[in-house]
Structure formats: structure tokens, C-alpha cells
Amino acid sequence: MSGTVFVVDQDAHLAKLVSSVVVPAGFSVSTFTCGRAALQGVQDEMPLLVIVGEKNDQTDGVGWIAKLREKERRLPVAFVAAKWREPEFYRVLREELNVALVAHRPLKPSILKIQLADLLTVAPITHSDLPTPEMPVPYPSGNGDSGLGPGLEKWRRAFVASIPGRMEKLGGLLTAISITEDRQKTLQDALIVAHNLKGTSLSWGFSDLGDTAGRIEEVLKKSDTKNGGAPSPLEDTAALFFLLNEYAHTLTGDDAEPTIQDETRDVASDKAHILVVGDAILPYGETMQKSGIGVEMIHTSYGCAIADAGKVALDAALIEISQNQDTESSFNLARQLRDLHGYENLPLAFIVPNKDSQLLEGSARAHAGGSLVIERPMDSAIVDKVIGKLLSLAEGGRFRVMVVDDDPDMSSLLCRCLGQFGIFAISLNDPLQVSAVLNEFNPDLLLLDVLMPGMTGFEVCKKLRQTDRWRDLPIIFLTAQTDLASRITAYEAGADDYLPKPVINVELLTRVKARLEKARELKERSERDLLTGLLMRRPFSEQSNSLISEAQRHGFEFTVALLDVDHFKKVNDTYGHDAGDLVLAMVGKLLRKRFRVEDLRGRWGGEEFILAFRHENIETMKRALTRVLEELKSIEFNAGDSKFSVSFSAGLSCYPIDGKNLHGLVQVADRRLYLAKNRGRSVVVTEG
């Protein structure tokens, strides 16, 4: 792939960020600060894509796009906005100026990479060319032609290998229905097995097998008195099961294609890039492939780490600490990585020779942002688990989807489909575990099957909609139940969309991506303070309450910090409100870059900020927050001809010693903040 991407903007940082994303993929970048020169460049060299910022030397970005559209309507254009606007602004961009993508600062490399992937095609594509939920999508043809590409071949073979076990289980249940005392439960179990076999078979393109399983499902439904059906003879299932067995044998018998999984590693279209700093050569395992995401380890040295971090959009970094090395230099490198543009929320882990407390001094590690510590020696399973955890922590990075389906083959298929387009997806086969896994994984979207043992998808959805944290989580139902009553029940339960099985790659991706992009846009607007980039009070409280519930279940402690910028009113009165806004923005930026990705950071109101550090005690966080205080005091602010610096005061409290709910923890932290001010400010207080 080759071609040129134009960047039209006064800000050199935008061109640098775009280059870090598209150059490794084989594209070149041409930068224009002059609008007139950019228009001439389009005439001289038709680019694949134009990325336009708010301002250039001649006009604003929207005006420049309007001039471009006078001569060129189909050229893909992305607009980078400096702030959120009214709905009419976006309507004009999308409908009148045919802008394919609107992104908002601050840009994150991992998100931008996914967003630009759809636009960087040799033949320009407009929105009218893309499939929509209302447009028909071609289904796989033939018996066994999945239509999903060679990257999924071994997963299709794995499903074929599972068919004999499924047939044995279904046959046993069908036989037991007429002789067991608990007829209703046995019928329900058989219904679920037939339902799963139908949906997964059809999704892989095995139409004869899927259709016949569906016919068995219908007979079982008519006999299900629990759901209002009248008892009916089940003799028909015997003939249908015989036919089902014949179709299964054509796939798994002696004349069928081999079902041995090949050892070649799938190549996803968008890999996760992990920077590994030091001498460690990490073993690569297969666990991460279950999520659908390919992994590329970028091994580098301490001296080259910063330069290599700018060559590709990173998803996470692992830094090795050795016995003979200055530990502080490792923490400094971690902080330097998080200081890079777009990497404020880069998940980090440290590799150590053993769990030596001297190498892992808690406050320094917390301040540097280390979420995990890996002890040598490491096997591939440990490495895969660490990488999976780091990717799940990446706030605002690649999209995260959780698939809940009791059929492991179906959930694996869905994860692989999403993973090939850069979406990090994990599967869960037990609906009873949804709440616990949601709190840990924090997905952007939930794909939910309807018919599952223990708890139906409808029941899971209703339960989630009753909780503050998950009431707005996008939920798409995936099911072979396509009747009107099922669709109505899905929406009444709180679903956002409804996708019938068999699931086809193109339609699945179109619906999921549309929901993800819309949800993230709304979430950023409703949860983030525009000036500081931190959580606002309500979402911080909701996430803190989830943290408290988790701490209660698992018995760990955590620390809450309430801090206040010292003499902030004096800053506003002396240097103006613009200078005050600059101070608040800098404090927000500093808090985002420091500490771990999973720690909570919020703007509590005015010049007050609040933080929550999971699994960390109060003394460790006192030292870590003192480090941030010293950093802030060293920053010089400019206000016209004047220069000034600021500090903050902070009070800390610890769960469960100082309180067992957020209100109590904040009260104690606020009391200690008041003591900090009485002691002369610029201090962190943990007692009193």
C-alpha cells in the first residue's frame, strides 16, 4: 500500500501524530500550513486523504473544506476539531461538506489509527458506499464456505472438531426428555444446545447443519410449557436428529476435510504494538490470539526507547529493571514515555528479576504509572496475561468489546472478526459472571446472546440498566430468535440494537463500529471536563462506587486524595482568568500523565481535584502525590510579561479505615485538606 496523506493545519503536532500512525503502514505525509498551497497540492497530486485542522494561514478549516468541495467532492476528508460544537456544526460537515470523519483533540494515536484505517483506501469511498443496517449483506454461500477469509480458517476447523461432542450431547438430551422426571429442565437444556448449534453453524456457512438444528429448536419451543407452549409429540425430533447426524458426518467423517488445526499464526489487520525496553526477549504465546488481536513486540534499549516510541502507535510498554541498574532511571523513562504527545494514558508494566522491595519502591512506581510488575522467569502464558491486562486498561485507546455467549465457538468467531479490524474483544461464556468481568474489563460495548443457561440475555441487560455505571453502555443482542416478540423484548430490556444470527463479518463490523464511535463521542462529552480532560463529578462518583464494591468483595484497600490549587483566586485576580484556566489545564495534564491508567482522576469543582488509587495504601500515595506536587511547583507559567508558579494542598483518606463509602472518604480527605491549608499549604496531609 502506498499513497499520500495531506495534513492542512498550523499545528505541527498534528502532522507529527498523523505521520506516526500512517507512515509505518506505507503511506507518505505532506504538510501544509498555507491553505492556498494545499488546494494547489490537491490539483497537482491527488492524495488518498486530507486531514484538516481548525486553522491554516489563509482561512479556517471549515472554510478550506468548502473551497475544496467546489472542485472535488469525492476526496475523503477528516476534520480535527479543537472543541465540541453544536449539532448543526456536525450536520454541515457530514451532509453538506461530505466530511468522512470528525475527530476531537486531544488525539490518541491508537484511536486515530483505527479511525483512519477505513479512509485510507486506494479508491475513495463515501458514506453512501458503506453498508448500513438497512442494506442487504451477502451471506456465505455453499456448505462450509464461511466467507470470512483465511485468517479464520483454523477457528472454523476447531468448530468442526467440536461437532461430534455437540451431537452426542444433543442426542442424549433428546432421548432423556421422554423418560426423565425433570422434563422441563431437560427440554430447556436441549433447546440451548440446538440453538447454539444452529447459530454457530450458520455463521460458519454450514447451512444444512444449521437449518436442521433450527428445525429441532422449533419443535422443542412448541413443547416448552414454561414459555407458554403446549405439550406436543417429540417424535419428529428423531427423524430430524437422524438427518442432522448425516450432515454432521459429511463434515467430520472419514471423507471430510482434516480438522487438525494448523500451526500458522493468524495475521490480524491491526496489531497491538508493545514496546519492550531492556534485554528481555519475551516469549510469545497464543492466548492473546483468542481476543482476535495480533501482537508485535518492539524490542529496544533505554537509549533508543523514546525514538522508537515515536515510530509507531503504541498500545503499551514493558520496562525491564535489572539488579545492576539505577532503578530511578527506569521510572524516569516511564515518565518520559507518558510525557510524549498522545501517550498520557499509555499502560506500563515493569519487569524485575525478583520481587525485591528496593527495586519496587511503591510511591516511585505509582508515580511513574506502573500498573503491573512481572517477575522473572516468564513463560508465554504469563506474558499473554500481562499484555491482555495492559490492553484492557488502555483508557481511550483501541475500542474494547465484551462478547457474552455460552457457545465458546461462537464467541471465539466474534472476537476474531472484531480483532481483525483492531477492536480488542474478549469472550465470556457464563452470563452469571457478567457484572464482575465488566467492572474489570470496562468495555465500550457489549455483544450479548439471548438464550443462555442460568440467565437469559434479556435478564442480563435489565440488570445492567438498573446500575448507574452501565445504564448507558451500548448493548447489541445477537440471537437467532428474530420474531417480533423477541425484538420487542430486547428493546424493552434496554438493548441499543439487535443483530440476527448468523453473524456476517461486514454487517457485524458496520453496526459495532457505528455504535462504538457514537458512544465514545457521547461519553467524552458527558463524562470529561473539557478544560482538564478529567472525569467530572458524577462519573467519578459512579466509578468510585464500583471501586468500593470491588474492594468490599475482594477485601483490598485504596486511597482517596482531595487536592486544591493554592491561592487560586489570587492567580485569577493578578494574572487574569486565562492564566487561571492555563493552571487548571496543566494540573489536569499532570494528573493524567502520572499514576497508573486504572487510577481515577476527577475535577471535583472549581480548583479542587479528586483521585482514587486502587490497591494502594495512604502512605505510599502520600509520597507519590508529593512527587507530583514538586513537579507542579517547578513549572513556570507565563502571563504576559509576568512569570509565576503554583502549588497545591492535599488531604488523603483510606478505605476502609477512614470510611466505607465515598461520602465518608471525601469528608475525611476534606478535613485533612483543611489542615494542610492551616499548616501553610503546599503539603500533603494523611492524619488528623
Question: Secondary structure of 543-611 in the HEC alphabet?
Answer: HHHHHHHHHHHHCCCEEEEEEEECCHHHHHHHHCHHHHHHHHHHHHHHHHHCCCCCCEEEEEECCEEEE
Three-state SS at 195: helix
pLDDT at residue 279, as a whole number: 80
Instruction: Identify which of 111-115, 205-209, 487-491, 679-683 has the greatest average pLDDT.
Output: 679-683
Looking at the domain covering 272-393, what would its CATH class be?
A: alpha beta
What radius of gyration do the chain's Cα atoms show? Answer: 28
Kindly report, residue by residue over 20-65, the tens digit of the pLDDT: 888 888 889 999 999 999 999 998 888 999 999 988 887 889 999 9
Three-state SS at 648: strand
Give the 3-state DSSP-derived string for 129-176, with helices as H, strands as E and coil as C.
HCCCCCCCCCCCCCECCCCCCHHHHHHHHHHHHHHHHHHHHHHHHHHH
The Cα 352–Cα 114 span in angstroms is 33
Q: Which three cell numbers stand for residue 525?
A: 462529552
- Choice among 68-72, 145-149, 304-308 with the minimum mean pLDDT: 145-149
CATH number, domain 150-252: 1.20.120.160
Closest CA to 625 of 595, 583, 665, 656: 595
Strand partners, 96: none
Give, in degrees to the nearest 5, the angle at Cα 264 between 417 and 400.
30
Task: Indicate if the pLDDT at residue 268 is higher than 60.
Answer: no
pLDDT at residue 394, as a whole number: 65
pLDDT at residue 526, as a whole number: 79
Q: Which three cell numbers stand for residue 241?
A: 436428529
The Cα 422–Cα 419 span in angstroms is 5
Contact between 424 and 291 under an 8 Å Cβ cutoff? The reply is yes
Task: Indicate if the pLDDT at residue 602 is higher than 60.
Answer: yes
The Cα 248–Cα 568 span in angstroms is 73
Closest CA to 524 of 539, 513, 514: 539
Higher per-residue confidence, 400 vs 364: 400
Closest CA to 355 of 371, 375, 372: 375
Give, in degrees to the nearest 5, the angle at Cα 635 between 630 and 641.
145
The Cα 99–Cα 76 span in angstroms is 7
Give the mean model confidence (pLDDT) for residues 536-565: 90
In the chain, the largest separation of any two C-alpha atoms, in whole Å, equals 92
Give, in degrees to the nearest 5, the angle at Cα 100 between 99 and 101.
100
CA-to-CA separations, 110 to 248, 347, 350, 601, in angstroms, rounded: 43, 12, 22, 21
Task: Indicate if the pLDDT at residue 609 is higher than 60.
Answer: yes
pLDDT at residue 653, as a whole number: 96
Task: Indicate if the pLDDT at residue 139 is higher than 50.
Answer: no
Cis omega (within 30 of 0) on the bond before 106?
A: yes
Kindly report, residue by residue over 513-522, the tens digit of the pLDDT: 888 888 877 7
Give the mean model confidence (pLDDT) for residues 590-617: 91
- Choice among 174-178, 228-232, 557-561 with the minimum mean pLDDT: 228-232
Cis omega (within 30 of 0) on the bond before 377?
A: yes
CATH classification number, 537-685, choose in 1.25.40.10, 3.40.1160.10, 3.30.460.80, 3.30.70.270: 3.30.70.270
E strand or H helix that includes residue 626: helix 618-634
Domains of the chain by residue range? 4-129, 150-252, 272-393, 400-524, 537-685
Contact between 610 and 547 under an 8 Å Cβ cutoff? The reply is no
Q: What is the mean pLDDT of the chain?
A: 80
Task: Indicate if the pLDDT at residue 256 is higher than 70.
Answer: no
Residues near 574 by Cβ (< 8 Å), separated by ≥ 6?
Answer: 642, 644
- Choice among 184-198, 210-224, 356-370, 592-606 with the minimum mean pLDDT: 356-370
The position carrying cell 507512515 is 23
Q: Other C-beta atoms within 10 Å of 254: how many? A: 5
Q: How far apart are the first and last CA of the chain?
A: 64
Task: Indicate if the pLDDT at residue 344 is higher than 50.
Answer: yes
Instruction: Identify which of 321-330, 446-455, 581-590 has the greatest average pLDDT.
Output: 581-590
The yes or no reply on domain 400-524 and CATH 3.40.50.2300 is yes
Domain 400-524 and domain 537-685 have a common topology: no
DSSP alpha helices (H): ranges in 352-493? 362-368, 380-393, 408-419, 434-441, 457-465, 484-493
pLDDT at residue 522, as a whole number: 78
Q: Which three cell numbers stand for residue 650?
A: 492535599
Instruction: Identify which of 52-61, 149-158, 442-451, 560-569 has the greatest average pLDDT.
Output: 560-569
The Cα 594–Cα 625 span in angstroms is 9
Task: Indicate if the pLDDT at residue 175 is higher than 50.
Answer: yes
Burial of 322 (0-12, 13-18, 19+ CB in 10 A): middle
- Choice among 21-25, 445-449, 460-464, 605-609 with the minimum mean pLDDT: 21-25
Q: Which CATH superfamily is domain 4-129 in?
A: Response regulator (3.40.50.2300)
CA-to-CA separations, 88 to 65, 94, 105, in angstroms, rounded: 16, 10, 19
Give the mean model confidence (pLDDT) for residues 596-600: 88
The Cα 590–Cα 578 span in angstroms is 18
